[in-house]
């Protein structure tokens, strides 16, 4: 059996290519949308992708399953979960116990509701070697050290109180499905550390049933049959769910558009963008934050092109309302193509071109406050970190609203006063601040430097004021 994980560090998402080398057939599980990576890997091993499946209707990225089906693979998807959770496009339906055969490799579908009602995990057996199962592709059911959160439907998909039923069903799935498997079975999840699909995901790629049985935080609750204690522990402290998760659920259920063989992005000369930024063109400045702080085009969206590029972009670009073409400011053609692919993973498909410099365009540095020389007096402070980060430490008087939820709650923010936006290190705040300026907030300022420096600065200022000493 051939087995390969593909890991997207931006979305902390894992997908899998599994093949039978004897027959040259392969299947992909939980593919991302830019599927050439799987086709190339299969071809390099002398295999052909004949099947594709998803463990569930994903919330954080657009599935590439339909993309691979359009390229010739048979599409298998869950028919569990009831009418509200049926995929709305043609596929071969799977229920608990359904089997997908790929040469000598067998994938058995296990219905594991809790994270979502229709969720499947896939138990993999390499029939050429043994009749015993060897791998569990657990999707968002079981992670390394954690389990999938059951509250996303309440948070982003219009549910009301579904988290309690989800927690109950997740407990049953662990008891009746996961813990009945042999200890030797390898567990390969759909996400790792950094994903908002759980709260304590491990950073290593995989685990085993036996190790999770012994070490996972939830194991003592299952051993004691304590469903209520499990539910309370599971639901406490879940991270903020980005608003775009609701859009992803809808897109994946209804059927993502097929990208097919897209052409290359068009190179723009900077002069072609003069007078067009934030009018008929969205300019996404993907340079490192330090470069953007030295000057960018007014109206450009700040989305540093690092390891969280697609995540940040999904927070500040809503393709349901944004109909303009996107042009990327990137270091070159290959970098722009990579960033464009990453945007499609979160359903942002309107990237048409790129520009490599701003020479000849009007630029200005974004307004910032500097610790030691500037004050927060008279400003509304918006902390765009998560609720958990905020609870650990925050600036006095700051309001918390996670970066991924700001666009959906613009009506709650003051437009007529200075609004100071900050996070921990600056990247999230820069993206949110640029989006606010684009949407008519005229006096948006960012904090320069690390939050800890500002906490020290504010603390020193408070102490000096108590002693009657004048400070900035």
Residue 203 is predicted with a pLDDT of 82
Residue 372 is predicted with a pLDDT of 79
**Confidence band (pLDDT; 50, 70, 90) for 269?**
very high
Distance, in Å, from the CA atom of 123 to the CA atom of 333, rounded to the nearest integer, reads: 41
Residue 466 is predicted with a pLDDT of 36
Cβ-in-10-Å burial (0-12, 13-18, 19+) of 88 comes to exposed
Residue 460 is predicted with a pLDDT of 58
Calculate mean pLDDT across residues 90-113.
98
Calculate mean pLDDT across residues 307-323.
94
Residue pair 349/426 in contact by the 8 Å Cβ criterion: no
Distance, in Å, from the CA atom of 290 to the CA atom of 449, rounded to the nearest integer, reads: 11
**Confidence band (pLDDT; 50, 70, 90) for 196?**
confident
pLDDT at 40 > cutoff 50: yes
pLDDT at 469 > cutoff 60: no
pLDDT, tens digit, 9 for 90 and up, residues 19-29: 999 999 999 99
pLDDT, tens digit, 9 for 90 and up, residues 233-248: 999 988 888 999 999 9
């Amino acid at each position: 059996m051939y087995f390969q994980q593909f890991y997207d560090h931006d979305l902390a998402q894992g997908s899998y290519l599994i093949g039978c080398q004897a027959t040259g057939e392969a299947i992909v599980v939980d593919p991302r949308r830019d599927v050439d990576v799987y086709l190339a890997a299969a071809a390099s091993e002398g295999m052909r992708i004949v099947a594709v499946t998803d463990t569930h209707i994903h919330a954080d990225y657009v599935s590439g399953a339909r993309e691979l089906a359009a390229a010739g693979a048979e599409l298998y998807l869950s028919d569990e979960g009831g009418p509200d959770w049926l995929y709305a496009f043609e596929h071969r339906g799977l229920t608990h116990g359904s089997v997908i055969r790929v040469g000598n490799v067998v994938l058995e579908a296990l219905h594991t509701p809790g994270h979502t009602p229709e969720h499947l995990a896939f138990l993999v057996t390499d029939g050429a070697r043994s009749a015993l199962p060897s791998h569990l592709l657990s999707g968002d059911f079981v992670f390394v050290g954690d389990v999938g959160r059951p509250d996303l439907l309440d948070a982003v998909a219009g549910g009301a109180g579904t988290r309690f039923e989800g927690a109950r069903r997740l407990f049953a799935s662990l008891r009746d499905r996961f813990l009945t498997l042999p200890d030797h079975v390898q567990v390969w999840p759909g996400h790792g550390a950094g994903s908002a699909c759980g709260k304590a995901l491990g950073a290593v790629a995989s685990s085993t049933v036996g190790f999770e049985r012994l070490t996972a935080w939830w194991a003592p609750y299952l051993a004691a049959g304590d469903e209520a204690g499990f539910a309370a522990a599971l639901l406490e402290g879940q991270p903020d769910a980005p608003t775009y998760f609701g859009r992803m659920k809808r897109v994946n259920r209804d059927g993502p558009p097929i990208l097919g063989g897209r052409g290359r992005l068009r190179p723009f000369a900077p002069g072609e963008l003069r007078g067009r930024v934030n009018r008929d063109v969205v300019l996404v400045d993907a340079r490192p934050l330090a470069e953007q702080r030295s000057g960018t085009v007014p109206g450009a969206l700040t989305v540093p092109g690092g390891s969280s590029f697609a995540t940040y972009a999904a927070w500040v670009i809503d393709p349901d309302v944004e109909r303009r073409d996107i042009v990327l400011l990137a270091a070159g053609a290959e970098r722009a193509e990579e960033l464009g692919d990453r945007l499609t993973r979160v359903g942002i498909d309107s990237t048409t071109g790129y520009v490599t410099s701003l020479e000849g365009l009007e630029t200005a540095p974004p307004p910032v406050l500097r610790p030691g020389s500037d004050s927060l007096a008279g400003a509304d402070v918006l902390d765009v970190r998560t609720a958990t980060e905020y609870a650990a430490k925050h600036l006095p008087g700051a309001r918390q609203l996670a970066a991924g939820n700001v666009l959906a709650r613009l009506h709650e923010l003051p437009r007529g006063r200075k609004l100071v936006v900050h996070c921990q290190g600056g990247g999230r705040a820069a993206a949110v601040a640029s989006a606010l300026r684009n949407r008519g907030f005229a006096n948006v300022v960012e904090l320069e430097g690390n939050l800890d420096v500002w906490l020290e600065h504010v603390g020193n200022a408070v102490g000096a004021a108590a002693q009657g000493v004048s400070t900035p």
